Amino acid sequence: MDVAWALPAVGDLRENMAFYGAKEMGLGDRFEQEVEDAIGRIVRYPRAWFDLGGGFRRCQMHSFLYGVYYQVQGERIVIMAVLDLRRSAETWQRRLRELGI
């Protein structure tokens, strides 16, 4: 399956990498690797995670309390957001509304 990134998700990744990179040397890179690992799991098992509505699913990262929100669109996976799971559910629900879902 191909993987594409929605523009807001690219911003999420960059923002979070910068945040963690400023906290500790190499932590931003570890965050990026965790995102890549989650995407690898998504590619292998795209429908393994619960449908949140509108075809959105969330794969939780292992070392960081973040979720990779995505949609399966035919033979393509679209990464829609990378969000902190410690935030309220309203945060990701608002993001989905902003994306028109």
Domain that holds residue 93: 2-98
List, for residues 4-23, the tens digit of each pLDDT value: 999 999 999 999 999 999 99
The tally of domains found in the chain comes to 1
Greater pLDDT, 82 or 87: 82
- Mean of the pLDDT values across residues 33-48? 97
Gap between the Cα atoms of 24 and 74, Å rounded: 39
3-state percent helix, strand, coil for the chain, nearest multiple of 5: 45, 30, 25
What mean pLDDT is predicted for residues 31-45?
Answer: 98
Nearest to 32 by CA among 15, 17, 11, 10: 17
SS3 of residue 92 by DSSP: helix
Q: Is the pTM of this model over 0.85?
A: yes
Q: Assign residue 41 the CATH number of its domain.
A: 3.30.2310.20
Who's near 52: CB < 8 A, 6+ residues apart? 58, 69, 92, 96
pLDDT at 34: 98
pLDDT tens figures, 49-78: 988 888 889 999 999 999 999 999 999 999
